[in-house]
Structure 1
Amino acid sequence: MKEPASIFLLNAGIDDGQFKDLASRIQARQIKLTVIQSLAPINALRRGDNPVWLLVAASSRDRAAFQREIAALTQLPASVFCIMISGEIPATDYKALLQSGRADWVQLDTAPQDLELILHTRRDHFSTPAGKGPTVISLVPSAGGVGNATIAAELAINLISRGKTKNHRICIIDLDFQTSHICDHFDLEPRLKIDEIAHEPERLDSQLLDLFASRHTSGVDIFAVPRNRSQLASIDLNVLDALLELIAQKYDLILIDHPVGWSSWTAHVLQASQDILVTGINTIPGLRQIANVLEALHATQASASRIGIILNRTEMTFLGKPVQRDHVDAVFSNERVFYVRNSPMAVESINIGQPMSLRSKSQKTVKDIAKVADFCLTQKGDAKS
């Protein structure tokens, strides 16, 4: 993993023994850092506008003092990204850090592994040129059964069938490590054996990654684990980091099929996404669930990405207008909303393992998906050219 030019660790309130132990655990992860006693080295580097990571070990027991630290750190220039390290903090304090766009927080006990993922997913904060690296599209379900995997499958086929992205390497990653079913949509067997790298992520290389890919004749690759309810619902941040980093090196466009439940790494994956598509159903409870997800996205600073809402299985009027359109417009007046109409072909396509976008491009539901693809491809730096 490439690290920023400068990583500094500052003690802002924990005892010396804890601080030395923290520094040792971070360095054991091959993260090179410099321990500092004040912000003077940061101020010196500021004049050269060099990128700086500032890790601040603080005590969360005195909330007033902790909030003063937050206020001070979020005033630093854009070339500095701060990561607070402490015990548990209130959600409001975490939100204040994230809303600055230049700060994050990790828990003291798990700081080294959490830092690794943040250093990776946030490295574009400084110097990655526009247009470099893959396009990452996260599909986030607002509830179970809203068709998140169906949308992911149809969107992938739509994208790989287009002239602009026809020669791109496109994959879907299913982050549901217990009940994954994305491969069912392609009539494929899942091949990602996460247990093989769970304790030794350094084993993962290009050859092993190729073995983990389920390859569809359309050209779309899928990374998904076989269904196993005894499998851990989440995995270590270090393992996920290694997996995503290697996939990012091999693919131009990555669609991430998120599970309903959020894990410790969810916010970091969302922050690394150029587009976030929230899927749901056009009912009153469904719209409330979507609103809850949007609120959570804003709290994680994932709102820096472009966000769209997909209302799946929407009923249409005789004239082709979505039912409850006026109510949806009132609830999500500032959001980009896509309506994917209900179609009997959707169920049939799942049953035979062949996406609708391969069977009938003229089908109205497929055209609805095409509008979502247009949205993704018109974003700046959307894919490699």
Structure 2
Amino acid sequence: MAATKNSKRILLVSADKAFLQDTKAAFASSEKIELVVVEKNVGDLRAEIQEADCGAVIIDMDAARLDEIDALQRITRRLEGRAPIIVVTQEFNAAAVRILVQLQIADFLVKPITTADLVRSCIRALQGPGREENAESQIYTFMPAAGGVGTTTLTLQTAFQLHNSMTRGASTCVVDLNFQQGSCAEYLDLEPRFDINEIENQPERLDRQLLDVMLSKHSSGLCVLAAPTRPSEMRSFNTDVVVRVLDLVSAYFDNVVIDMPRTWFPWTETVLLGSNKLYIVAEMTVPCLRHTQRLIQAVYETAGKEVKPNVIVNRFEQRMFDSGIKQADVQELLGEHFVGGISNNYRLVREAVDRGVPLHEIDPNANVVNDLKRIILPEEAVVATKKSRSLFGLGKGLLRKAG
């Protein structure tokens, strides 16, 4: 049995340089998985798999060739079930399927494949058979309480944290529902490819193949569904279109992270009701926090008690002895809805946006990254110092004074 420290190591066997490059890029940003590459044909393998001491194996092969099937059989005998095998093949036929099933291969994928599908298959193989086959996608929705509060930044960073998590599934898709002026794709220097006009009158046309064409794909394997912005076009879309999009995305991704517009549309209620987690992003000002209160009430009036809004206060900066809003004030105003604050780190966020990269790529231990992880993935959050735990400092009770 492989050692625990190696249970998240994946061995990739392939002679396809393009496939090797894409797969390396897909796993490059993961802090949880180590990818070990053997650039060989499966028939040329000797003892590399045993020596790698890995938790899972990806074998790129031609399942139509008998010599490569024989090589795969030898590998399965040597592993004796110690590590699941994922087969990637160019050609597929019924005979190959029967053989792979008989060999108890964990999964098999046919080229061309998306990196998201490959990453998802790998994580499921590492997690083992305990994971439910039809586990539902988890949907995280972010709503701004005001303009410019940093909702898109938190949406994308949440998506990366979920995508790299070992406890929340394998694949993640960001859906930018701000059709008029969304910027999720631009924040990652990606081209928005979602042509909503193509399916507006026939939502049923959107299938897995068309969705794959319309997805913008980050090198990490994270996918983004975003439409080109239309600043001069203020219009709503039929609820059926949005429902079809979210149904299809949630069917193919373990995690769906939604960036909502500030404006409410006829489909807003549907999105809220379909969300597992709803986060309202606010900032540390009295007007914004008051509006957050009203927004919480609006969510309850629209979607009922089935949806609980969680409030994240973004860009908090409190200096010692400085006057300002205290944590106790926020908790008194928002009660159980307040789930945490995010430190103000303008320089880091600005650099990430300008370079089109995620925050953790610049500084994986940045206060913003750790603050958000404590909220989204508390079970995986790094133990913080006493200073970073106390997000809110001393200050006057402005909210209480405001009544």
Q: TM-score, normalised by structure 2?
A: 0.58
Q: CA deviation at 1:307?
A: 2.8
Question: Structure 2 vs 1, CA of residues 352 and 336 (structure 1 numbering), >3 Å: closer, same or farther?
Answer: same
Q: Which residue in 1 is equivalent to 2:352?
A: 349
Determine the C-alpha separation between the residues in 1 that align with 2:336 and 2:246: 32
Q: CA deviation at 1:245?
A: 1.4
Determine the C-alpha separation between the residues in 2 that align with 1:328 and 1:198: 42
Structure with larger RCO (C-alpha < 8 A, sep 6+): 1
Q: Secondary structure, in 3 states, of the residue corresponding to 2:341?
A: strand
Map 1:277-356 onto structure 2 (within 5 A).
277-318=279-320, 323-343=325-345, 344-356=347-359
Map 1:345-384 onto structure 2 (within 5 A).
345-374=348-377
1:161 aligns with 2:164: yes
Q: 1:247 is matched with which residue: 239, 246, 249? A: 249
Q: Which residue in 2 is equivalent to 1:97?
A: none
Amino acid at match of 2:246: L
Measured against aligned partners, the alpha-carbon deviations of 1:267-297 in whole angstroms (never above 9, x if no partner) come to 1110111110000111101101111110111
Q: Which residue in 2 is equivalent to 1:229?
A: 231
Question: Structure 2 vs 1, CA of residues 133 and 184 (structure 1 numbering), >3 Å: closer, same or farther?
Answer: same
Q: CA deviation at 1:324?
A: 2.3
Structure 1: which 5+ runs fail to align? 1-128, 379-385
Q: Which residue in 2 is equivalent to 1:213?
A: 215
Q: Which residue in 2 is equivalent to 1:63?
A: none
Question: Structure 2 vs 1, CA of residues 130 and 341 (structure 1 numbering), >3 Å: closer, same or farther?
Answer: farther
Question: Structure 2 vs 1, CA of residues 239 and 232 (structure 1 numbering), >3 Å: closer, same or farther?
Answer: farther
Determine the C-alpha separation between the residues in 2 that align with 1:204 and 1:149: 25
Q: CA deviation at 1:187?
A: 1.0
Question: Structure 2 vs 1, CA of residues 149 and 199 (structure 1 numbering), >3 Å: closer, same or farther?
Answer: same
Measured against aligned partners, the alpha-carbon deviations of 1:206-257 in whole angstroms (never above 9, x if no partner) come to 1110011011112211111101134453211121222111111111111111
Measured against aligned partners, the alpha-carbon deviations of 1:335-365 in whole angstroms (never above 9, x if no partner) come to 2331001102111111111121222121111
Amino acid at match of 1:210: D
Amino acid at match of 1:204: L
* 1:174/1:182 contact within 8 Å kept: yes
Q: Secondary structure, in 3 states, of the residue corresponding to 1:334?
A: helix
Q: Secondary structure, in 3 states, of the residue corresponding to 2:192?
A: coil
Determine the C-alpha separation between the residues in 1 that align with 2:317 and 2:378: 22
Determine the C-alpha separation between the residues in 2 that align with 1:275 and 1:131: 20
Amino acid at match of 1:143: A
Determine the C-alpha separation between the residues in 2 that align with 1:131 and 1:338: 32
Q: CA deviation at 1:303?
A: 3.6
Q: 2:147 is matched with which residue: 131, 144, 149? A: 144
Map 1:267-286 onto structure 2 (within 5 A).
267-286=269-288
Map 1:11-160 onto structure 2 (within 5 A).
132-160=135-163
Aligned residue pair count? 249
Q: TM-score, normalised by structure 1?
A: 0.60
Higher-Rg structure is: 2
Q: CA deviation at 1:323?
A: 4.9
Question: Structure 2 vs 1, CA of residues 377 and 140 (structure 1 numbering), >3 Å: closer, same or farther?
Answer: farther
Structure 2: which 5+ runs fail to align? 1-131, 382-403
Q: CA deviation at 1:131?
A: 8.1
Measured against aligned partners, the alpha-carbon deviations of 1:159-181 in whole angstroms (never above 9, x if no partner) come to 2222223x511011111111111
